[in-house]
Copies of this chain bind each other. A is one copy, B any other.
Amino acid sequence: MTLTAPATPTLLARFLDVRALTERLAAPLSPEDQTAQSMPDASPAKWHRAHTSWFFEEFLLDPAGGYRPFDPTFGYLFNSYYEAVGPRHPRPERGLVTRPSADEVGRYREHVGQAVAALIERGLDEAQAEVVELGLNHEQQHQELLVMDALHLLSRHPFGPAMIDWPVEDDPDPEPLTWRPVPGGLYEVGHDGAGFAYDNEGLRHTVHLVPFEIAERAVTNEDWLAFTADGGYTRPELWLSDGWAAVQQQGWQAPGYWQEQDGQWMVFGSGGVRTLRRAEPVCHVSFYEADAYARWAGARLPTEAEWEVAAGDVAELRGQLLDPDRLHPGVAGRHMLGDVWEWTSSAYLPYPGFRPVEGAVGEYNGKFMSDQHVLRGASCATPAGHERLTYRNFYPAAARWAFAGLRLARP
């Protein structure tokens, strides 16, 4: 993480914007919705709101001195996994923390927000500015998690209630699948140090690629229906061994949130249960499903280096990622065209020369570098401005509650 300190007025405006978006995303959720935890991997919305505030308390306000914590017990309740900071509440029991209430968490957020704003206004040194920048990126990451986790919770409700009101959309014809060749050779990948990036995006380094082609659009729901119709979920030869075990143990017959009603595929999303739209990128598939689909299609997933090289090279991809109007506040969770994280074939491992940041704040990305898979791009739930071509998202191979789809590659 190398930063040049951003100008303070800009930083303050950005701080207020990011903090406000979190509250807007949580607004459609009742106190009850914000408290329940639907599985150990997901956290209550209330927890996300509090944890992102605790981050500023722990790493900025407390070291800065002169700060009175809102409640001294919150450190225990809202630390996520920073072993170096001290003991913390067990993750699978976050749904039992009924107190503080969602309202009190709102007051906590205001208390922390005002203290940070005051500090920014008084002027930050470079290290402090870096912590604020990190804290904002951290909060943006949790904004997407908040939406993912809330959607998962509502999906477990027997009647699949809508999170937000959402007009019914039409379903245009899917685009045909076209391929773009990328020549082999040496490429530089990883973050080059200009602007904010997480530690896991560096060091920038050289990779050798053989020539390949990459699809110019993601796999769609219509594509997936062909896979399903061709027995995709019943043919072990298409699957990794662990993937086939997951299919059988979890009874997968379609992507997450799909449900069949009277012979018609419906899909649960932030607008409730809707008719499946054929042209949308398929979403809520696991790595195992993405891998099996690619094998069925006679193709494969790209490596993360291939993805990054192709994305840097291809204007359409880039444009899609950088469109500033993509995420409208309150629109989180919408399945928009092209807007999914894309599974790569790469395991989540350190780049050559990777070193985590020193201190507790560095307990961030490096400690998860085993048995996870890299996703690239961004989703409809990624806050605008949080995308980067070098961004490395990661989930376990069986996870389906992320906004994750896939894009094919081939030799």
**Cβ-neighbour of A242 out of B46, B76, B89, B370 (below 8 A):** B370
Name which of A62-70, A91-99, A124-132, A379-387 contacts chain B. A91-99
Residues of B within 8 A of A32 (CB): 31-32, 34-35, 46, 98-99, 101-102
Please report the C-alpha to C-alpha distance between residue A73 and residue B205 in the assembled complex, in whole angstroms.
Answer: 55
Interface residues on A, range: 35 or more
**A31 to B, closest residue via Cβ:** B31
Report how far A46 CA is from B156 CA in the complex, Å: 18
A241 partner residues in chain B, CB cutoff 8 A = 81, 367-368, 370
Q: Are A157's CB and B98's CB within 8 A?
A: yes
Chain B residues, CB < 8 A from A288: 370
* Closest beta carbon of chain B to A401's beta carbon, Å: 14
User: Is A370 within 8 A of B243, CB to CB?
Assistant: yes
Q: Cβ of A240 and Cβ of B73 under 8 Å apart?
A: no
Does any Cβ of B come within 8 Å of A83's Cβ? yes
The distance from the CB of A252 to the nearest CB of chain B, in whole angstroms, is 16
- For residue A13, CB closer than 8 A to chain B, the reply is no
Please state if A99 and B240 are interface contacts (CB–CB under 8 Å).
no
Shortest A398–chain B CB gap in Å is 9
Decide yes or no whether A346 CB sits under 8 A from chain B.
Answer: yes
CB atoms of B206 and A157 under 8 A apart? no
Chain B contacts of A30 at CB under 8 A? 31, 98-99, 101
Report the Cα distance A224→B38, complex, angstroms: 39
A255, B305: Cα distance in complex, Å? 36
Within 8 A of B (CB), among A75-94: 76-77, 81, 83-84, 89, 93
Whether B36 contacts A98 by the Cβ 8 Å rule is yes
Q: In the complex the two chains form, what is the Cα distance from A161 to B287 in whole Å?
A: 42
- Contact residue among B36, B46, B96, B291 (Cβ-Cβ distance under 8 Å from A96): B36
In the complex formed, the residue of B with least CB distance to A206 is: B208
CA distance A78 to B63 in the complex (A): 50
Stretch at the interface among A137-145, A262-270, A276-284, A347-355: A347-355
Residue in chain B with minimal CB distance to A156: B96
Q: Give Cα distance in the complex from A214 to B13, angstroms.
A: 49
- Pair B368/A96 contact, Cβ less than 8 Å: no
Within the complex, what minimum Cβ distance (angstroms) separates A43 from chain B? 14
- A324-356 Cβ-contact flags toward B at 8 Å (1 or 0): 000000000000000000000111011011000
Chain B residue contacts of A153, Cβ below 8 A: 96, 98
Q: Indicate if A58 sits at the interface (CB-CB under 8 A).
A: no
A236 contacts partner chain B, Cβ-Cβ < 8 Å:
yes
Q: In the complex, what residues of B have CB within 8 A of residue A101's CB?
A: 30-32
Nearest-neighbour CB distance to chain B for A202, whole angstroms, equals 13
A263 vs chain B, min Cβ distance (A): 21
Q: Does A369 contact B (CB under 8 A)?
A: yes
**Which of A83, A186, A411: most chain B Cβ within 10 A?**
A83
Mark contacts of A367-381 with chain B using CB atoms, 8 A cut-off: 1 yes-contact digit, 0 otherwise. Answer: 111110100000000
Q: Which 4 pairs of residues, A with B, have the shortest CB-CB distance? A: A347-B347, A83-B236, A32-B98, A32-B35
Can you sample 10 A-B contacts with CB below 8 Å? A30-B99, A83-B237, A98-B157, A186-B208, A209-B352, A240-B367, A240-B370, A241-B370, A243-B370, A347-B349
With contacts A32-B99, A96-B156 known, what are 16 further pairs, Cβ within 8 A? A30-B101, A31-B31, A31-B101, A35-B98, A83-B244, A99-B157, A206-B208, A208-B208, A240-B368, A241-B370, A243-B370, A291-B370, A345-B349, A346-B349, A347-B347, A347-B349
